[in-house]
Amino acid sequence: MTATLGATPTIVLVGHGMVGQRFLEALAERGLTATHRVVVLCEEPRPAYDRVQLTSYFSGRTPEELSMTDMEFIKDHGIELHVGDPAESVDREARTVTARSGLVVGYDVLVLATGSYPFVPPVPNKDAEGCFVYRTIEDLLAIEEYAKSRATTGAVVGGGLLGLEAAGALKGLGLAAHIVEFAPRLMPVQVDDGGGAALLRTIEDMGLTVHTGVGTQEIVTDASGAVTGMKLSDGSELATDLVVFSAGVRPRDQLARDCGLTVGERGGITVDEQCRTVSDPHVFAIGECALASDGRVYGLVAPGYEQAATAAATIAEDETEEWTFTGADLSTKLKLLGVDVASFGDAHGTAEDCLDVVYSDSRSGLYKKLVIGRDGTLLGGILVGDADAYGTLRALTGSVPPVSPEQLVLPAGSGGGAQLGPSALPDEAVICSCHNVTKGTIRGAVTDHQCTTVPEVKKCTKAGTGCGSCVKVLGQLVNAELEASGVEVDKGLCGCFSQTREELYEIVLALRVTTHQQLLDRYGREGARGGDGCEICKPTVGSIIASLAPTIGASGYVLDGEQAALQDSNDHFLANLQKNGSYSVVPRIPGGEITPEGLIVIGEIARDFGLYTKITGGQRIDMFGARVEQLPLIWTRLVDAGFESGHAYGKSLRTVKSCVGQTWCRYGVQDSVRMAIDLELRYRGLRSPHKLKSAVSGCQRECAEAQSKDFGVIATANGWNLYVGGNGGATPRHADLLAQDLSDAELVRLIDRFLIFYIRTADRLERTSVWLERIPGGLDHVRDVVVHDSLGICEELESLMADHVAHYHDEWATTINDPEKLARFVSFVNAPDTPDPVVGFVPERDQIKPDLPLLSIGMRPADVLEGSAQR
């Protein structure tokens, strides 16, 4: 575009969100950052970050980790980025933008990427103290602070995507959480009544209270103006201390209105197919602030990225690119509170004379619906509870699938389900909707550009670098294309070993290999032999050797000799590293059963060392804030009092949770506490590919939540039912029934077999839930092996477990009795008497919390702690 204001034409970008950052990248790809001055005015106090993953802040991701801005990119391309300095006004005649700071920037091209703002219903007291919106990192920080200091109950107005995420965040902060949705179902835009019902059941099972079909009429406050409740449209009142409004968003178009640009009747800056405003050829609008030529405002990241590329191509006047934006696919795949929800194509069946194919399992919270045309064409669908097939189904939309619709919705292994691989997709199928990357483009990256890994294909095509929902299909396509080209797909553990973890386990067991170096020198890849290994194989092999130590004649102590160098960071100090460089101390408390004397000892230690204490969800007591040099002192006292390591730091058994069982509970039919204690003492210290959790419930009321554990036990009048493969974490999975009405001896024998078979065959860092779904034959195969001994290995499995049980020893008891091993517990190896000055605390609620005064944008805790021994 011709410059009019100076020798170097200027592009001004107002707004630096995800779409704004993509626009800058598109400018750089076309060389415009080398020929133009690029100025960015950003209202938020931080550069662009991943707003799609905003809620992950509450599960531990820092604002820095959410950042999408590589400051080297900004610097290398000479981009002038002004954070915390939004545009206040635009003079279209003079072609200048004035920022809040008073900065005036002339432009040749102005691009508005101002996004959207949260809609807050006009109810009385909507601005009261304790009312928040859920849009930015700053919003989340404010909610977190208020929830911790002022609230016990929170309510979210809105049951859409962000509303459910906000409710999950409030629950995670320890509040009783409510969701108020005016529509008759949750997520009314994405799912239908059946999908909403499945979603509702699952969310209520998580402990959230849902109110659908009611609106908010008033926010109730106390004399000080703080929130105390909500009046609802059905006449009821909901007591709450905190309210989050998440009732949708509106285009942020006030800046455009003020300078006379045309906006839509319901908002949005009107643009043409090149994303140029219809009012001014020098002004563009992209993202959620833009009203596209099809009359729609798009609130998803993928259309915003496409608009950003369209605007950049138009500004570059590149005639080789025919970029236009006339509409976009609204398909979405989300994980809400750990529940998969996806919709694609004509999800609600608006096409004339279409048919529905539905599979619903209310017990498991599964709902799948496909919308099919009369000619068999897949028009769209809804998936709740299991969206693994989303990538394939969305790509098949508009075509006739190669199998019947019924086979596409039935679960795999049900006798009628079918799993379609990448070969079923046509080359023109869009795999990555964020960057509009087709299967053909991905195949070309492998065949024409010699990409052999998913990261290489991501870099070449940008597929998988947006929302990430296509990464699984992307990996399948890459492997399929390599195999079709005659290239053997490397399934080795890492660059050091061509064998899988399962194969390495068998080698270690059969040949009694006792060190990582022996294994690497004999079985490593050609270039890796004689080396030190890598961060993948060292802890993996260390875990295999530790799990087989008694059988192969290796030391079972993880800090002996070479083993110490193989461990993950937590195992190095037999404690969990916390965010400020301090450590947590977690003694084992089998079954959650503890004497008053034991409680007193723990209380005295926590008091004497100034530790933060918390009861865990696994019926133990966490003590946080121990400096590395204090760990041996603390554990000496704990061991003297009869406590031992709780292995909260290891890939091993964590806890066996229990209810009080028949001893105290009037519903109990078995002694669940005794069984939980027996199981925890039997499997304590058992090293495995991933952490293991267990629980024992004394009756079918399931108070110990055994069906969300790696192995769970539920009492019956006739004995015990054994469930396996459960997971209650980020990807919840109900455990499957392996065997029922077992005696004590039968139960223990089957658990022995199951655990060793899992340890023997699972991949690195693979939970039992993932392993059970991956292993050929799934649950049926596992049952055949461990219950019916179909492979004839059960005697060996039992023997391996017996070796573990017979040779167990407490790692901390061993450590505190060895002066040489105690020498490692220092912050600085060259100044052992010097405590780490960065490890600080501030008071909170009569205890302590980490003090991180040095943290700022772009600096992570690991950067602050660089140089300490634990690094």
More confident residue, 789 or 189: 789
34: left (phi over 0), alpha (psi -120 to 50) or beta: alpha
Dump pLDDT digits (tens) for 772-819. Answer: 888 888 888 999 999 999 899 999 999 999 999 999 989 999 999 988
301: three-class secondary structure by DSSP: helix
Whether the Cβ atoms of residue 528 and residue 550 lie closer than 8 Å to each other:
no
Q: Does the pLDDT value for residue 849 go beyond 70?
A: yes
Which segments of 553-659 does DSSP mark as H helices, in order? Answer: 561-566, 569-572, 596-609, 631-640
Q: What is the mean pLDDT of the chain?
A: 85
Helix ranges, 78-178 (H): 137-150, 161-172
How far CA 120 is from CA of 124, 233, 249, 250, in Å, comes to 11, 16, 9, 10
Proportion of the chain above pLDDT 70, given as a percent: 91
User: Span 403-410, mean pLDDT?
Assistant: 80
Please tell me which of 39-53, 743-757, 775-789, 816-830 the model is most confident about, judged by mean pLDDT.
Answer: 743-757
871 pLDDT above the threshold of 80: no
**Model-level pTM?**
0.55
Query: Tens of pLDDT along 806-833?
Result: 999 899 999 999 888 888 888 776 667 7
- pLDDT of the residue at 319: 53
Coil, strand or helix at 831: coil
pLDDT score for 660: 85
Query: What is the average per-residue pLDDT within 85-100?
Result: 96
Give pLDDT tens digits for 208-228. 899 999 999 999 999 999 999
CA dihedral 476, 481, 486, 490 (to 10 degrees): -40
What is residue 864's predicted lDDT score, i.e. its pLDDT? 33
Q: Is the pLDDT of residue 3 over 90?
A: no
pLDDT at site 52: 81
For residue 401, give the nearest of 418, 416, 388, 383 by alpha carbon: 418
- Where are the extended beta strands (E) located within 593-704? 612-615, 621-626, 653-658, 692-697
Ranked by mean pLDDT, which of 106-110, 456-460, 465-469, 861-865 comes out on top? 106-110
Q: Which residue has the higher pLDDT, 486 or 242?
A: 242
Q: Looking at residue 411, what is its pLDDT?
A: 64
Give the sheet arrangement for strand 237-239, strand by strand.
Answer: 216-221, 227-232, 237-239
Most confident stretch, 401-410, 635-644, 662-671, 812-821: 635-644
Lowest mean pLDDT among 221-230, 452-461, 718-727: 452-461
Distances (CA, A) of 672 to 621, 681, 684, 705, 716: 20, 14, 18, 12, 11
pLDDT (mean) for 453-464: 80
- The rounded distance, in Å, linking the Cα atoms of 806 and 803 is 5
Highest mean pLDDT among 119-133, 371-385, 665-679: 119-133
pLDDT category at 862 given cuts 50, 70, 90 is very low
Lowest mean pLDDT among 88-97, 270-279, 424-433, 763-772: 424-433
pLDDT above 80: residue 436 = no
Is 475 a residue whose pLDDT tops 80? no
At residue 712 the predicted structure's pLDDT band, cuts being 50, 70 and 90, is very high
Least confident of 463-467, 528-532, 724-728: 463-467
Hey, what's the torsion of the CAs at 558, 560, 563, 566, to 10 degrees? 80
CB 377 within 8 A of CB 214: no
* Angstrom distances, CA of residue 604 to CA of 328, 607, 613: 62, 5, 11
Would you tell me how many other CB atoms lie within 10 Å of the CB of residue 578?
A: 16
Confidence bin at 869 (pLDDT 50/70/90): very low
pLDDT for position 4? 41
Q: Look at residue 124 and tell me whether its pLDDT is greater than 60.
A: yes
Residue with tokens 């919705």: 409
Alpha helices in 383-536 (DSSP H): 390-396, 405-409, 439-447, 454-461, 471-484, 501-511, 516-523
The model's pLDDT over 299-312, given as tens digits with 9 standing for 90+, comes to 888 889 989 999 99
Looking up tokens 């101390």, which residue turns up?
585
* pLDDT for residue 728: 80
pLDDT band at residue 663 under the 50/70/90 scheme: confident
Query: Per-residue b/e over 227-237, b at no fewer than 16 CB within 10 Å?
Result: bbbbbbeeeee
- Three-class SS of residue 666? coil
Q: What is the mean pLDDT of residues 442-457?
A: 82
Positive or negative torsion for Cα 366, 372, 378, 382 = negative
Structure tokens at 334: 């989300």
Residue 625: half-sphere exposure toward Cβ, Cα within 13 Å: 20
Average of per-residue pLDDT across 669-687: 93
Instruction: Give the residues across from 41 on adjacent strands.
Output: 14, 82
pLDDT tens digits, one per residue of 831-848? 677 777 778 888 888 888
